[in-house]
Amino acid sequence: MKEKIFVTKSSIPSIDEYMDEIRDIWESHHLTNMGIKHMEFERKLKKLLCVDNLELMVNGHMALEMTIQAFGFKPNSEVITTPYTFASTTHAIVRNNLKPVFCDIDEENFCIDSKKIESLITPNTVAILPVHVYGNICDIDVIDKIAKKYNLKVIYDAAHAFNEEYCGQNIATFGDASIFSFHATKVFNSIEGGVSCFKDLTLKDKIYSLKNFGIKDEETVRDIGANAKMNEFCAAMGLCNLRHLENEIEKRKNIFELYVDGLRDVKGLRINIPYSTVKSNYSYFPILFDEEKYGVDRDWMKKRLEEEGICARKYFYPITSKFDCYKNKFDINNTPIAQKVSESVLTIPLYSDLKEEVVYRIIKILRNPR
């Protein structure tokens, strides 16, 4: 029986490195509530991401939810977003009592189609919430112009884009805010974790307060907050993994390039190559299947890979506007491209220590569907 190959595998430091990192926590008995590891992790992230303001969070979802909340939009206001994303993006809008307005995606890079945003703006629109899907970067310049023209906020779900650069500038610096996820399955992890980066310093107090029950000081509770603090053990894992980040991404790049070389000429398969303006983190390897040209469809190939012990993921399927929990709430026909892509996409295994022989095996299967 061959070893089962998952679509991703969490990066971890050596156990000794982690033990060394958590020793201070043991000695201090300070396990959470913005301790020394939390502070050090924030300091290092600020430097890496080239931002002045950020707040660590328990996960990427809460970073997004609380960042949206901090802007204080009027209930039922509209947020223009994409349905081609992880559940988190849409849920974060809805859980803030706001209304997602779904814009279709660009067929080429799977991000929100910036040409279609303007026609969706109404007097109730307050923000645009695009996603840098698979680490592909949205049309930042166009989105920025639209936002300025209509006085809208831009909040990027950058969960896939950690440590990337667009035109030589760190991706965390764009928009009014960007959030990242440090979930175990992401390029960079702190077991669970996330961060909110934002331009306006006056939001800092609010976001900090929201992640800690809205507590202002010993006797004042000012906001209806929740609990979204990152604990010291997660921060310690983040500190360890940060040391290996460049190396991890380099290893991913090698695998990514093997896939590109092996699959770029296959009729009926479309692969996703980063644009030259983007310094990629090589987070995912999505493939689009054109059944007519390729001979078999996405679902067939997913099963075929499974027979070989290889897990591939329909990421993203279904589009969020089709979720059961949103039944009859949205007109799913407004985003035909997102719908089409979600029905033909498969992301294949990609992680730093994926063995070359496995990569070649996957390429061989994909090159010979029958």
User: Please, which residue, 35 or 83, has the CB nearer to ligand PLP?
Assistant: 83
Residue 321 lies near ligand PLP (rule: CB under 6 A): no
Question: For ligand PLP, which residue of 37, 38, 61, 153 counts as binding (CB under 6 A)?
Answer: 61
User: Please, which residue, 106 or 157, has the CB nearer to ligand PLP?
Assistant: 157
Site string for ligand PLP, 106-135 (x = CB under 6 A): -------------------------x----
What are the CA-CA distances from residue 36 to residues 215, 223, 236, 358 (Å)? 20, 25, 9, 41
CB of 234 to ligand PLP, least distance (A): 11
CA angle (36 as vertex; 35, 38 as ends), nearest 5: 70
Residue 89 lies near ligand PLP (rule: CB under 6 A): yes
CB of 122 to ligand PLP, least distance (A): 25
Residue 41 lies near ligand PLP (rule: CB under 6 A): no
**99-102/78-81 β-pairing:** parallel
35-57 residues labelled b (16+ CB within 10 A) or e (exposed): bebbebbbeebbeebebebbbbb
User: Please, which residue, 66 or 131, has the CB nearer to ligand PLP?
Assistant: 131
Amino acid at 153: K
Decide if 97 contacts 73 (C-beta within 8 A).
no
User: Please, which residue, 86 or 110, has the CB nearer to ligand PLP?
Assistant: 86
CB of 355 to ligand PLP, least distance (A): 25
Decide if 174 contacts 198 (C-beta within 8 A).
no
| Number of CB atoms found within 10 A of residue 85's CB | 25
Question: For ligand PLP, which residue of 11, 85, 114, 281 counts as binding (CB under 6 A)?
Answer: 85
Residue 157 lies near ligand PLP (rule: CB under 6 A): yes
# chain residues binding ligand PLP, by CB under 6 A: 14
User: Please, which residue, 183 or 211, has the CB nearer to ligand PLP?
Assistant: 183
Question: For ligand PLP, which residue of 183, 229, 252, 270 counts as binding (CB under 6 A)?
Answer: 183
Q: Summarize as ranges the residues that interact with ligand PLP (CB under 6 A).
A: 59-61, 85-86, 88-89, 131, 157, 159-160, 181, 183, 194
